[in-house]
A and B are shown apart, each in its own frame.
Chain A
């Protein structure tokens, strides 16, 4: 399906996708650089501070984070199913799968919030202080996971709007596909945060 300049002379799209998905792709690429910047700041901070702590025990931290990864990956699967159903014009199924995706997103947020509360109350890791006197550990941890959690939260609201629009028959396949791109991207970012933030700080 390669189209080159001679056959394509304006009007359609060289990328064979509609304007909405293309706009979302562009946002995703830009946001990926924002997250990369945060991850690079984290790497920089670790390199600049030689005694970086590694406090994450297998249970509960790693187990929880693995479960969160599982939840997020599963939500991506239901999202794929939702887009699929929409392409078959099965709006009822689409809304169901979107709801499942939102539910898994909320599960992710709940587990994550519980973990935050545990870290703050029991382990005394906050944004600015922690037992190892490496304040940037907390700052980078909460900064990265917080930015990601904000994305998940926005995603859940966004999917809610899309589900509503789909149910009322207002939205088309493009809308669902575009929201899917966003959701998969949020999942993708976690595929970097999980190993970089959690596994690199495993208590052995």
Chain B
């Protein structure tokens, strides 16, 4: 095998998994860097910062960020984090590497489509990043790209010309890639399990990947159609999302008949399920990690499966809660409100079962376990503010304030990232054959845990004051004087939290060369990926979480172990 077919255009699921992981790590670093720059500008809007000038000689001439630059960083931060980090690592990265191993398959069902799907994702990322360097810079319409702002071209501002077009193309490519991935995952899980691996013996991670793939299969289909329509509006002069009588920048637009609300419906029909695409695989990882490190079976395995299926389906019924104040029919708001709180029920079931899993266990507080426990903590914190936002009457104040920013960063960003980190610490030995440093891991963990609470809880307070989000400067409003101290605190906490992530990167690199060699099954886990590599097909005889089974000879029974005696 040449270098190219082995490492670059490989069809091996492990290589593709690592490729996804590295791509997402790059994206995460870029996305985090952007957020730090944004915080810097927000806190010191007048300061002349040399770094800005070096990075953007035009948009930050003299070292002061222009509002459009700030908004474009915000747009890119959101897009990169949602699509190329949260959607990519848990499914593309971990899923590709571990799904075939966990179900005892040799590879994914369609290895070549798998490779294609990764390269389409990578291309989508490159296309998105190229928006930074084209004329006008990156788009400034936010990751939701609401028209008319996003549909009328460069008269709506710098970055809304070529940059915005690249954004749409990137998202369309990403849709195609995710669709290929989803087909591959579902087919693999349904067709390629080893003997004895019935659906209800699968580890919860596999269930999570299955449900996530099902959601992707449908959600990205809708976003793809919406993307085509937005592209037509931008490049071909149609007016799906543009009503009559628009006057932008003193120019009267010759468009007619469309409705901006239509985009919001289409986008959130995808966008809300997308939240679950980001978090469900993490839930699977956390369930597994909690079980392994408590030496106890998952509490209510079947309830966990049904809760995931319920979340997956209900996720499609609640898109309207992003649109309570959008001018949508107010009757729809009430219906969406009921459905939104209904989705809290399976989420509560999961939380309850996680607590049930660790209750009465023997908790080994390794770093992976700490991340999983912290996931439960932030999941509850973020979920509770979601209950407030799910009520249209309260959303009428909190919508588009920092309360929302705090909420979704905790529940979607932080929780998903914690589960990714739990997965990384748990699976790194399998991926590389070496252990990560526990000491570095703990320092990284404690600072990050405190850091995210210090960053995102104060945002709720800013939201209560009424601080609107997506403002590049808080100087124009009297009432925003009061929150500036708060923002300064948030910025400092964010700096610290971002800086300590370098420790994590260092840990990864250090471990590759100096890390302790890991055995085949360092955590004494039961699932098939921890078996030594062999060409024999495994025959599965038990469920995925047989820990501390009474009468067994040791406190775990692997899935292919026929008898514990």
Residues of chain A having any CB pair with chain B under 8 Å: 5, 8-11, 13-15, 18-19, 22-23, 26-27, 29-31, 33-35, 37-38, 41, 44-45, 48-49, 127-128, 133-136, 139, 143, 147
In the assembled complex, the Cα of A143 lies from the Cα of B241 at a distance in Å of 14
**Min C-beta distance of B457 to chain A, whole Å:** 38
Closest 7 pairs between A and B when the two form their complex, measured CB to CB = A10-B193, A37-B225, A139-B238, A33-B221, A10-B197, A136-B257, A128-B237
In the assembled complex, the Cα of A49 lies from the Cα of B179 at a distance in Å of 33
A11 touches B194 (CB 8 A): yes
Enumerate chain B residues within 8 angstroms of A139, measured Cβ to Cβ: 232, 238-240
Q: Is B372 an interface residue (CB 8 A)?
A: no
A34 touches B221 (CB 8 A): yes
Contact with A along B180-220 (1 / 0, CB 8 A): 00111011001111111111100000000000000001101
In the assembled complex, the Cα of A14 lies from the Cα of B240 at a distance in Å of 42
In the assembled complex, the Cα of A55 lies from the Cα of B281 at a distance in Å of 51
B110 touches A23 (CB 8 A): yes
Enumerate chain B residues within 8 angstroms of A41, measured Cβ to Cβ: 225, 229, 240, 262, 266
Q: Is B498 an interface residue (CB 8 A)?
A: no
Q: Is B455 an interface residue (CB 8 A)?
A: no
B225 touches A38 (CB 8 A): yes
13 additional A-B residue pairs with CB within 8 Å, beyond A26-B183, A41-B266, A136-B257: A9-B196, A10-B197, A22-B191, A23-B113, A33-B218, A41-B240, A48-B258, A48-B259, A128-B238, A136-B238, A136-B256, A136-B258, A147-B228
B257 touches A134 (CB 8 A): yes
In the assembled complex, the Cα of A48 lies from the Cα of B241 at a distance in Å of 12
In the assembled complex, the Cα of A27 lies from the Cα of B198 at a distance in Å of 25
Q: Please judge, given known A-B contacts A9-B196, A10-B193, A27-B179, whether A49 and B257 are in contact too, CB under 8 Å.
A: yes
Enumerate chain B residues within 8 angstroms of A34, measured Cβ to Cβ: 221-222, 224-225
Enumerate chain B residues within 8 angstroms of A147, measured Cβ to Cβ: 228
Q: Is B160 an interface residue (CB 8 A)?
A: no
10 A-B residue pairings within 8 Å (CB atoms): A9-B198, A19-B187, A29-B218, A30-B217, A30-B220, A34-B221, A35-B225, A37-B266, A48-B258, A135-B257
Q: Is B236 an interface residue (CB 8 A)?
A: yes
Q: Please judge, given known A-B contacts A128-B237, A135-B239, A136-B240, whether A10 and B183 are in contact too, CB under 8 Å.
A: no
Q: Please judge, given known A-B contacts A23-B109, A34-B222, A37-B226, whether A127 and B258 are in contact too, CB under 8 Å.
A: no
Enumerate chain B residues within 8 angstroms of A19, measured Cβ to Cβ: 109-110, 187, 191-192
Q: Please judge, given known A-B contacts A27-B179, A33-B218, A38-B225, whether A10 and B232 are in contact too, CB under 8 Å.
A: no
B195 touches A127 (CB 8 A): no
Q: Is B286 an interface residue (CB 8 A)?
A: no
**Min C-beta distance of B137 to chain A, whole Å:** 28
In the assembled complex, the Cα of A33 lies from the Cα of B199 at a distance in Å of 27
The residue from B103, B217, B226, B262 contacting A29, defined by CB atoms under 8 A apart: B217
In the assembled complex, the Cα of A192 lies from the Cα of B187 at a distance in Å of 28
B191 touches A13 (CB 8 A): yes
B198 touches A26 (CB 8 A): no
A45 touches B222 (CB 8 A): no
Q: Please judge, given known A-B contacts A11-B193, A23-B110, A26-B187, whether A44 and B259 are in contact too, CB under 8 Å.
A: yes
B217 touches A44 (CB 8 A): no
**Min C-beta distance of A19 to chain B, whole Å:** 5
Chain B residue nearest to A12 in the complex (CB): B191
Q: Is B285 an interface residue (CB 8 A)?
A: no
In the assembled complex, the Cα of A49 lies from the Cα of B221 at a distance in Å of 26
Q: Please judge, given known A-B contacts A5-B200, A10-B194, A34-B222, whether A127 and B237 are in contact too, CB under 8 Å.
A: yes
Q: Which of B219-264 contact A (CB under 8 A)?
A: 220-222, 224-226, 228-229, 232, 236-240, 255-259, 262
Q: Is B173 an interface residue (CB 8 A)?
A: no
B197 touches A23 (CB 8 A): no
B262 touches A44 (CB 8 A): yes
In the assembled complex, the Cα of A29 lies from the Cα of B104 at a distance in Å of 27
B194 touches A27 (CB 8 A): no
Q: Is B540 an interface residue (CB 8 A)?
A: yes
Q: Please judge, given known A-B contacts A19-B110, A22-B187, A26-B183, whether A135 and B238 are in contact too, CB under 8 Å.
A: yes
Enumerate chain B residues within 8 angstroms of A18, measured Cβ to Cβ: 191
Enumerate chain A residues within 8 angstroms of B199, measured Cβ to Cβ: 5
**Min C-beta distance of B528 to chain A, whole Å:** 12
Enumerate chain B residues within 8 angstroms of A5, measured Cβ to Cβ: 198-200
